[in-house]
Structure 1
Amino acid sequence: HNLNGSSSSKGKSYNVEMSKWPWMKGIEVALADPIPPTGDKDDRPSVKQLIEDHRALIDEVKAEIEQELLYDPAKHDDLWFLRFLISHKKKTNKAVKAAKHTLQFRADLKLDDRDIRSVHVGHDNDKMNEGAKNYLKYCDDDTFRFVVPDTKRGVVSFLKFSGFDQPSMVENVPEEDWLPAFAFVTEWSHQWLDYVTRTTGRLTKTIRIIDLADVSLAKQFSPSATKRDGKALAIMEDCYPQLLQSIFLINAPDWVEGPWRALRPIIPERVIGKFDFISPEKHPKDLAKLTKHVDLSHLPIRYGGTSKMWPDDTPPPRTSLLDEDSYAA
């Protein structure tokens, strides 16, 4: 097996030196050799080393999936299978089930057809699908910001939780719009992360910074909305493996942060690694958790960084390869 591009299975040989994913158009190799770490805190693993370590399991899952009509070896390569295996702790039966679900999910929503990385999330709402447009009607203008500060590091998302009007969402947004809304922003993040992973050779994930300042139980919390969110997030978790590195919750009210800090020592590390309440302006160790993923110069002052821009309105990086067309639902 040649980790630089070609793959073989059951005697067949596929040339995947160029990936067919639309966001990889014009890139000569589907997976680059790993670049040097971008800094002393950059511990992202080499994708090629991970593939080598999981070689037998990848081939086992691939043997099941290559029989599917939606399987395309120029898209569904070793990296694609690797993500499912890591997310499901090397359990091949669960990885196969999730991979099959993902093939159908992407076909149903036509997610393989368009490079949407050029959409400026939070600004280009007219380029989003109808579900996302309806969902965003009940969010303040600065509720969502998805940015790519460094094309060698990936996506950082900022969510201002007080910008949600969940009761109005439940009343006015059809439940069937929830999934397309979540799918659009998750797909946008995935496309950038996949591009960064393939061009740097290092497995790259996103971090989410959720600002809980000024949250109101009456406005921001709705049992029905939480239930809908849960359904959509479960599908995102299944169909976008290895997308999320951590969720950092900042400016939490005392009634939330206090109990969390008391419980942290007894919560499993695997949970802490994904979900953490932090106060970077008060606790240097908390700031270090953020700067592991994003440079201080790209982090707003309100979160302990040096950037004066708030909300962060940095548009997506522009390259000649980006598809400028609007996204069609």
Structure 2
Amino acid sequence: MGSNHQDYTFSHDTHPYTRSFPKLFDCCEPDFFVCYMPDQQRGIINMIQLKQRDQHRMIKEMTEEEYFQCHLMLTEWMFQQLDHITRRTGRLTKCIRLSDAAGMHYRQMEKQQKIRESKAAKHMEFAYPQLLSCLFIANAPTWVNIFFALLKPFVPKSLLEKVRLISPHKHTKDLERILEFCSRDHLATRYGGNLQEWPPRAMVSK
């Protein structure tokens, strides 16, 4: 799979919005976020380790506009990659997002940050309606369901329809859902796949 990987980095010279990324990364642990395209005939896999983000610090050190800039830059970058694949293959290509909530404690959650994220997601869903194929939330503690229910009014219905709560190591059907979008060889072992390298050589990572 090595030949299928490409390495990308954002430069401050590319766009002024990229100056907001260091602030975001300072609020997170290494490898909290991995975005990679193991198979250039298919889409992008976007993985986030939710417990590795300090949401309270994000509220203190990032403005809503700075967070939005990061979100927009990454979304536009993914859109351009996927649009290139779509034009080359003639097949509409989308990304999947896998947010791993394993080990999260409710005290790590910051309601204001989740509202920010929901607002940004709502804007991106409107601007890039064909970008996201499915959002998997893996290994979520029971309390996450309650918190998620409180945020539903802030999330567009079209996005909610793409959300799937899964536990791929416990339920074979959940693993099969992920494998609809990527091969087992391109899925990390922590989710039932064969990929032992972590983080994988990524297009974007922190």
TM-score, normalised relative to structure 2? 0.81
Aligned twin of 1:189: 78
Unaligned stretches of 5+ residues in structure 1: 1-116, 261-269, 317-329
- How many residues are aligned here? 187
How many percent identity over aligned positions?
A: 34
Q: Contact 2:125/2:159 (CA < 8 Å) preserved in 1? A: no
Cα offset, 1:133, TM superposition? 2.2
Aligned twin of 1:176: 65
- How big is each residue's C-alpha offset from its partner over 1:181-215, in whole Å with a ceiling of 9 and x where there is no partner? 10111112111111111111011111001100111
Matched, 1:302 2:195: no
Aligned twin of 1:284: 172
Distance in 2, matches of 1:257 and 1:303, equals: 20
Matched, 1:208 2:102: no
Q: Contact 1:148/1:156 (CA < 8 Å) preserved in 2? A: yes
| Residue among 315, 321, 329 paired with 2:202 | 315
Aligned twin of 1:157: 46
Matched, 1:218 2:107: yes
Q: Contact 1:197/1:203 (CA < 8 Å) preserved in 2? A: yes
- How big is each residue's C-alpha offset from its partner over 1:51-97, in whole Å with a ceiling of 9 and x where there is no partner? xxxxxxxxxxxxxxxxxxxxxxxxxxxxxxxxxxxxxxxxxxxxxxx
Which amino acid letter does the alignment assign opposite residue 167 of structure 2? Answer: S
Which amino acid letter does the alignment assign opposite residue 163 of structure 2? Answer: F
Distance in 2, matches of 1:216 and 1:139, equals: 16
Unaligned stretches of 5+ residues in structure 2: 1-5, 149-157
Distance in 1, matches of 2:11 and 2:25, equals: 8
Aligned twin of 1:293: 181
Q: Contact 1:125/1:133 (CA < 8 Å) preserved in 2? A: no
- What is the Cα-based RMSD across aligned positions, in Å? 2.6
Give the greater-gyration-radius structure (CA).
Answer: 1
Aligned twin of 2:155: none
Distance in 1, matches of 2:133 and 2:173, equals: 18
SS at match of 1:184: helix
TM-score, normalised relative to structure 1? 0.52
Distance in 2, matches of 1:142 and 1:293, equals: 22
Matched, 1:237 2:125: yes
SS at match of 1:218: helix
SS at match of 2:67: helix
